Amino acid sequence: MIHVENLTKYFGDLCAVDHINIDIQKGEILGLLGPNGAGKTTTLRMLTGFLRPNEGSIRVKDYTIETHSLEIRKMLGYLPESAPLYHDMLVYDYLDYVADIRDLKKKEKHPRIRYMADLCGLNEVMHKPIGELSKGYKQRVGLAHAMMNDPEILVFDEPTSGLDPNQIIEIREIIKKIGKEKTIVLSTHILSEAEATCDRVVIINQGKIVADGTMESLKQTASGEYLITVSLQNAEKEAVVKELGSVEGVAGILADDDEGEALQVRITCRSADDLRGAIYEKIKQTNWVLLEFYQERQTLERVFQRLTVES
Protein backbone atom coordinates (compact mmCIF):
# COMPACT_ATOMS: atom_id res chain seq x y z
CA MET A 1 0.00 0.00 0.00
CA ILE A 2 2.68 2.48 1.07
CA HIS A 3 6.25 1.95 0.07
CA VAL A 4 8.92 4.19 1.58
CA GLU A 5 12.42 3.88 0.24
CA ASN A 6 15.63 5.56 1.39
CA LEU A 7 13.69 8.51 2.72
CA THR A 8 16.02 11.28 3.87
CA LYS A 9 15.42 14.81 5.08
CA TYR A 10 17.94 17.44 6.10
CA PHE A 11 17.19 20.64 7.99
CA GLY A 12 20.34 22.59 7.28
CA ASP A 13 23.13 20.35 8.54
CA LEU A 14 20.87 18.32 10.76
CA CYS A 15 19.77 15.01 9.34
CA ALA A 16 16.27 14.60 10.70
CA VAL A 17 15.40 11.44 8.81
CA ASP A 18 18.17 9.17 7.64
CA HIS A 19 17.54 6.67 4.82
CA ILE A 20 14.37 5.10 6.14
CA ASN A 21 12.69 2.11 4.49
CA ILE A 22 9.18 1.10 5.48
CA ASP A 23 6.56 -1.01 3.74
CA ILE A 24 3.05 -0.62 5.00
CA GLN A 25 0.44 -3.19 4.08
CA LYS A 26 -3.20 -2.51 3.44
CA GLY A 27 -5.28 -2.66 6.60
CA GLU A 28 -2.32 -2.40 8.91
CA ILE A 29 -2.12 -0.12 11.93
CA LEU A 30 1.49 0.97 12.09
CA GLY A 31 2.88 2.75 15.12
CA LEU A 32 5.87 5.02 14.74
CA LEU A 33 7.69 5.20 18.05
CA GLY A 34 10.66 7.18 19.16
CA PRO A 35 11.88 9.77 21.64
CA ASN A 36 11.24 13.45 21.07
CA GLY A 37 13.12 14.75 18.06
CA ALA A 38 13.65 11.30 16.59
CA GLY A 39 12.13 12.26 13.24
CA LYS A 40 8.62 10.88 13.63
CA THR A 41 6.78 14.06 12.71
CA THR A 42 9.16 14.79 9.85
CA THR A 43 8.56 11.32 8.43
CA LEU A 44 4.79 11.75 8.63
CA ARG A 45 5.01 15.20 7.08
CA MET A 46 6.87 13.77 4.12
CA LEU A 47 4.36 10.95 3.86
CA THR A 48 1.53 13.48 3.63
CA GLY A 49 3.32 15.61 1.06
CA PHE A 50 3.78 18.58 3.39
CA LEU A 51 7.57 18.35 3.32
CA ARG A 52 9.61 17.33 0.35
CA PRO A 53 12.28 14.68 0.99
CA ASN A 54 15.90 15.45 0.07
CA GLU A 55 16.40 11.89 -1.02
CA GLY A 56 14.41 8.74 -1.51
CA SER A 57 10.90 8.07 -2.63
CA ILE A 58 7.43 7.44 -1.29
CA ARG A 59 5.00 5.37 -3.31
CA VAL A 60 1.35 5.06 -2.39
CA LYS A 61 -0.36 2.43 -4.52
CA ASP A 62 0.85 3.32 -8.02
CA TYR A 63 1.56 6.96 -7.33
CA THR A 64 4.83 8.60 -6.34
CA ILE A 65 4.72 11.65 -4.15
CA GLU A 66 6.85 13.87 -6.38
CA THR A 67 4.61 13.62 -9.39
CA HIS A 68 1.20 12.77 -7.93
CA SER A 69 1.10 14.55 -4.60
CA LEU A 70 -2.47 15.68 -5.23
CA GLU A 71 -3.79 12.17 -5.96
CA ILE A 72 -2.09 10.81 -2.86
CA ARG A 73 -3.47 13.59 -0.71
CA LYS A 74 -6.94 12.76 -2.02
CA MET A 75 -6.84 9.29 -0.51
CA LEU A 76 -5.07 10.28 2.66
CA GLY A 77 -6.42 11.90 5.81
CA TYR A 78 -3.98 13.60 8.15
CA LEU A 79 -4.27 14.83 11.70
CA PRO A 80 -1.20 16.92 12.58
CA GLU A 81 0.09 17.08 16.12
CA SER A 82 -2.20 19.01 18.50
CA ALA A 83 -4.77 19.45 15.71
CA PRO A 84 -4.05 22.96 14.44
CA LEU A 85 -7.35 24.34 13.16
CA TYR A 86 -8.90 27.72 12.46
CA HIS A 87 -9.87 29.20 15.81
CA ASP A 88 -12.48 31.59 14.51
CA MET A 89 -14.53 29.05 12.61
CA LEU A 90 -17.50 27.17 14.01
CA VAL A 91 -17.10 23.41 14.09
CA TYR A 92 -19.94 22.92 11.65
CA ASP A 93 -18.58 25.55 9.24
CA TYR A 94 -15.18 23.97 9.40
CA LEU A 95 -16.44 20.46 8.65
CA ASP A 96 -18.56 21.88 5.85
CA TYR A 97 -15.48 23.60 4.40
CA VAL A 98 -13.43 20.40 4.64
CA ALA A 99 -16.23 18.47 2.94
CA ASP A 100 -16.15 21.00 0.09
CA ILE A 101 -12.38 20.86 -0.29
CA ARG A 102 -12.58 17.07 -0.13
CA ASP A 103 -14.96 17.15 -3.08
CA LEU A 104 -17.97 15.62 -1.37
CA LYS A 105 -21.11 15.93 -3.43
CA LYS A 106 -23.88 18.20 -2.19
CA LYS A 107 -26.19 15.27 -1.50
CA GLU A 108 -23.78 13.22 0.55
CA LYS A 109 -22.20 16.15 2.37
CA HIS A 110 -24.71 16.58 5.16
CA PRO A 111 -25.22 12.91 5.98
CA ARG A 112 -21.45 12.54 6.08
CA ILE A 113 -20.96 15.51 8.41
CA ARG A 114 -23.69 14.14 10.66
CA TYR A 115 -22.09 10.70 10.65
CA MET A 116 -18.67 12.14 11.51
CA ALA A 117 -20.21 14.21 14.32
CA ASP A 118 -21.76 11.05 15.76
CA LEU A 119 -18.61 8.97 15.39
CA CYS A 120 -16.37 11.59 16.99
CA GLY A 121 -18.92 12.77 19.55
CA LEU A 122 -19.13 16.34 18.31
CA ASN A 123 -22.88 16.89 18.44
CA GLU A 124 -22.89 19.23 21.45
CA VAL A 125 -20.17 21.52 20.06
CA MET A 126 -21.19 21.83 16.41
CA HIS A 127 -22.06 25.50 16.79
CA LYS A 128 -19.13 26.60 18.91
CA PRO A 129 -15.99 28.29 17.58
CA ILE A 130 -13.09 25.83 17.45
CA GLY A 131 -10.94 28.19 19.51
CA GLU A 132 -13.27 27.79 22.50
CA LEU A 133 -13.13 24.00 22.56
CA SER A 134 -11.15 21.96 25.04
CA LYS A 135 -8.15 20.06 23.80
CA GLY A 136 -10.00 16.77 23.61
CA TYR A 137 -12.77 18.22 21.49
CA LYS A 138 -10.26 19.93 19.21
CA GLN A 139 -8.58 16.60 18.71
CA ARG A 140 -11.92 15.06 17.79
CA VAL A 141 -12.61 17.83 15.29
CA GLY A 142 -9.18 17.01 13.86
CA LEU A 143 -10.17 13.36 13.58
CA ALA A 144 -13.40 14.28 11.83
CA HIS A 145 -11.37 16.50 9.51
CA ALA A 146 -9.02 13.64 8.65
CA MET A 147 -11.77 11.11 8.03
CA MET A 148 -14.20 13.37 6.20
CA ASN A 149 -13.93 11.78 2.77
CA ASP A 150 -13.48 8.26 4.13
CA PRO A 151 -9.86 8.03 2.92
CA GLU A 152 -8.09 4.70 2.57
CA ILE A 153 -5.05 5.88 4.52
CA LEU A 154 -5.08 7.78 7.78
CA VAL A 155 -2.05 9.43 9.31
CA PHE A 156 -2.21 10.61 12.92
CA ASP A 157 0.61 12.49 14.60
CA GLU A 158 0.44 11.89 18.34
CA PRO A 159 -3.33 11.61 18.37
CA THR A 160 -3.62 11.36 22.15
CA SER A 161 -1.00 13.82 23.37
CA GLY A 162 -2.28 16.19 26.02
CA LEU A 163 -5.55 14.36 26.60
CA ASP A 164 -6.88 13.01 29.88
CA PRO A 165 -7.09 9.22 30.37
CA ASN A 166 -10.79 9.04 29.47
CA GLN A 167 -10.27 11.00 26.29
CA ILE A 168 -7.26 8.85 25.41
CA ILE A 169 -9.41 5.74 25.67
CA GLU A 170 -12.13 7.33 23.55
CA ILE A 171 -9.70 8.34 20.81
CA ARG A 172 -8.14 4.88 20.87
CA GLU A 173 -11.56 3.31 20.52
CA ILE A 174 -12.25 5.46 17.48
CA ILE A 175 -8.89 4.56 15.93
CA LYS A 176 -9.47 0.87 16.54
CA LYS A 177 -12.96 1.07 15.12
CA ILE A 178 -11.86 2.66 11.88
CA GLY A 179 -8.62 0.67 11.80
CA LYS A 180 -10.52 -2.47 10.88
CA GLU A 181 -10.78 -1.45 7.25
CA LYS A 182 -8.26 1.37 6.87
CA THR A 183 -4.51 1.62 6.73
CA ILE A 184 -3.39 3.74 9.66
CA VAL A 185 -0.01 5.23 10.45
CA LEU A 186 0.28 6.88 13.82
CA SER A 187 3.14 8.28 15.80
CA THR A 188 3.38 8.28 19.55
CA HIS A 189 5.86 8.21 22.33
CA ILE A 190 3.49 6.46 24.70
CA LEU A 191 4.46 2.81 24.62
CA SER A 192 1.32 1.36 26.11
CA GLU A 193 -0.62 3.18 23.43
CA ALA A 194 1.35 1.54 20.67
CA GLU A 195 0.83 -1.79 22.37
CA ALA A 196 -2.89 -1.22 22.69
CA THR A 197 -3.59 -0.03 19.17
CA CYS A 198 -0.89 -1.04 16.71
CA ASP A 199 -0.40 -4.23 14.72
CA ARG A 200 3.16 -3.34 13.99
CA VAL A 201 5.68 -0.95 15.47
CA VAL A 202 8.62 0.88 13.97
CA ILE A 203 11.00 2.51 16.41
CA ILE A 204 12.99 5.47 15.16
CA ASN A 205 15.96 7.01 16.86
CA GLN A 206 17.98 9.94 15.55
CA GLY A 207 16.38 9.56 12.15
CA LYS A 208 17.16 5.87 11.77
CA ILE A 209 14.97 2.81 12.16
CA VAL A 210 16.23 0.79 15.10
CA ALA A 211 13.45 -1.78 15.26
CA ASP A 212 10.57 -2.96 13.12
CA GLY A 213 8.07 -5.69 13.96
CA THR A 214 5.10 -6.66 16.06
CA MET A 215 5.11 -5.69 19.69
CA GLU A 216 5.71 -9.30 20.76
CA SER A 217 8.58 -9.93 18.40
CA LEU A 218 10.16 -6.67 19.45
CA LYS A 219 10.09 -7.68 23.05
CA GLN A 220 11.79 -10.97 22.27
CA THR A 221 14.17 -10.59 19.41
CA ALA A 222 14.93 -6.92 19.16
CA SER A 223 16.53 -7.00 22.53
CA GLY A 224 18.06 -10.50 22.47
CA GLU A 225 18.51 -10.09 26.17
CA TYR A 226 16.48 -11.26 29.12
CA LEU A 227 16.73 -11.44 32.85
CA ILE A 228 16.49 -14.52 35.05
CA THR A 229 16.14 -14.07 38.74
CA VAL A 230 16.92 -16.85 41.20
CA SER A 231 16.79 -16.85 44.94
CA LEU A 232 19.27 -19.19 46.63
CA GLN A 233 19.81 -20.34 50.16
CA ASN A 234 23.00 -21.78 51.56
CA ALA A 235 25.10 -20.23 48.84
CA GLU A 236 28.22 -18.09 48.77
CA LYS A 237 28.19 -15.01 46.60
CA GLU A 238 31.59 -15.67 45.00
CA ALA A 239 30.80 -19.31 44.31
CA VAL A 240 27.51 -18.39 42.66
CA VAL A 241 29.12 -15.81 40.42
CA LYS A 242 31.79 -18.30 39.44
CA GLU A 243 29.51 -21.28 38.87
CA LEU A 244 26.67 -19.56 37.02
CA GLY A 245 29.08 -17.33 35.15
CA SER A 246 30.46 -20.42 33.43
CA VAL A 247 27.12 -21.06 31.68
CA GLU A 248 27.42 -20.15 28.04
CA GLY A 249 25.30 -17.13 27.14
CA VAL A 250 25.28 -15.51 30.55
CA ALA A 251 26.40 -11.92 30.19
CA GLY A 252 26.32 -10.69 33.72
CA ILE A 253 25.44 -11.70 37.26
CA LEU A 254 24.34 -9.45 40.04
CA ALA A 255 24.22 -11.10 43.42
CA ASP A 256 22.79 -9.37 46.43
CA ASP A 257 23.05 -10.93 49.91
CA ASP A 258 21.83 -8.05 52.02
CA GLU A 259 18.55 -9.69 52.85
CA GLY A 260 19.93 -12.24 55.22
CA GLU A 261 19.39 -15.89 54.43
CA ALA A 262 18.48 -15.91 50.75
CA LEU A 263 20.78 -14.69 48.04
CA GLN A 264 19.04 -12.77 45.26
CA VAL A 265 20.78 -13.33 41.95
CA ARG A 266 19.91 -11.48 38.75
CA ILE A 267 21.33 -13.12 35.68
CA THR A 268 21.47 -11.21 32.45
CA CYS A 269 21.33 -13.58 29.50
CA ARG A 270 22.34 -12.64 26.01
CA SER A 271 21.43 -15.62 23.92
CA ALA A 272 18.87 -16.74 21.41
CA ASP A 273 18.33 -19.99 23.37
CA ASP A 274 16.47 -20.43 26.58
CA LEU A 275 19.14 -20.71 29.27
CA ARG A 276 16.84 -21.68 32.10
CA GLY A 277 17.56 -25.37 31.68
CA ALA A 278 21.34 -24.90 31.68
CA ILE A 279 21.21 -22.73 34.76
CA TYR A 280 18.99 -25.20 36.57
CA GLU A 281 21.40 -28.03 35.75
CA LYS A 282 24.26 -26.03 37.24
CA ILE A 283 22.36 -25.33 40.42
CA LYS A 284 21.36 -28.99 40.74
CA GLN A 285 25.02 -30.03 40.96
CA THR A 286 25.57 -27.88 44.05
CA ASN A 287 24.05 -28.09 47.51
CA TRP A 288 22.30 -24.74 47.21
CA VAL A 289 18.63 -24.57 48.01
CA LEU A 290 16.61 -23.06 45.24
CA LEU A 291 13.77 -20.93 46.59
CA GLU A 292 12.72 -18.96 43.54
CA PHE A 293 13.41 -19.19 39.85
CA TYR A 294 11.77 -17.03 37.21
CA GLN A 295 12.38 -15.24 33.95
CA GLU A 296 11.40 -11.60 33.90
CA ARG A 297 9.32 -10.52 31.00
CA GLN A 298 11.02 -7.79 29.03
CA THR A 299 9.05 -4.67 29.61
CA LEU A 300 8.36 -2.40 26.71
CA GLU A 301 10.01 0.47 28.49
CA ARG A 302 13.16 -1.57 28.79
CA VAL A 303 13.16 -2.48 25.09
CA PHE A 304 12.53 1.11 24.14
CA GLN A 305 15.28 2.36 26.39
CA ARG A 306 17.78 -0.15 25.07
CA LEU A 307 17.02 0.72 21.49
CA THR A 308 16.96 4.47 21.80
CA VAL A 309 19.36 5.35 24.59
CA GLU A 310 21.93 2.61 24.80
CA SER A 311 22.47 2.13 21.09
Interface ranges with another protein (CB under 8 A): 45, 48-52, 70, 73-74, 76, 78, 80, 82-90, 93, 97-98, 100-103, 142, 145
Whether residue 15 contacts residue 8, with contact meaning beta carbons closer than 8 Å, is answered with yes
Alpha carbon distance 211, 80 (integer Å): 24
CA distance 72 to 61: 9
Beta bridge partners of 187: 32, 157
Q: What whole-number distance in Å separates Cα of residue 96 and Cα of residue 71?
A: 21
H-helix segments, the chain: 40-47, 69-74, 91-101, 106-120, 135-147, 165-179, 191-197, 215-217, 237-245, 276-285, 300-305
Measured from the CB of residue 33, what is the shortest distance to another protein in angstroms?
Answer: 21
What is the DSSP pairing of strand 263-269 with strand 250-256?
A: antiparallel
Least spacing, CB of residue 118 vs another protein, in Å: 22
Nearer to another protein, 31 or 49 (CB): 49
Q: Which is nearer to another protein, 162 or 249 (CB)?
A: 162
In the bound state with another protein, the residue whose beta carbon lies nearer, of 17 and 85, is 85
Question: Whole-number minimum distance, CB 87 to another protein, in Å?
Answer: 7
Pick the closer one to another protein by CB: 93 or 212.
Answer: 93
Cα–Cα distance, 9 to 38 (Å, whole number): 12
- Strand-strand pairing, 76-79 and 153-157: parallel
Find the shortest distance in angstroms from Cβ 162 to another protein.
14
Task: List Cα–Cα distances, 33 to 20, 23, 139, 151, 198, in angstroms.
Answer: 14, 16, 20, 23, 11
Smaller CB distance to another protein: residue 28 or 71?
Answer: 71
Q: Which is nearer to another protein, 82 or 220 (CB)?
A: 82
Least Cβ distance, residue 27 to another protein (angstroms): 22
Q: Pick from 222, 207, 200: which is nearest to 1 by CA?
A: 200
Of 89 and 196, CB closest to another protein: 89
Of 89 and 247, which CB lies nearer to another protein in the complex structure?
Answer: 89
| Alpha carbon separation from 305 to 34, 36, 270, 311 (Å, rounded) | 10, 13, 17, 9
User: 98 or 175: whose CB is closer to another protein?
Assistant: 98
Element (H, E) at 81: none
Q: Residue 182 Cβ, how far from another protein at the closest point, in Å?
A: 16
- DSSP output for 221-256: IIT--EEEEEEEES--HHHHHHHHHTSTTEEEEEEE
Give least dist CB 52 to another protein, A: 4
CB of 166 to another protein, least distance (A): 25
* Shortest Cβ 44–another protein spacing (Å): 10
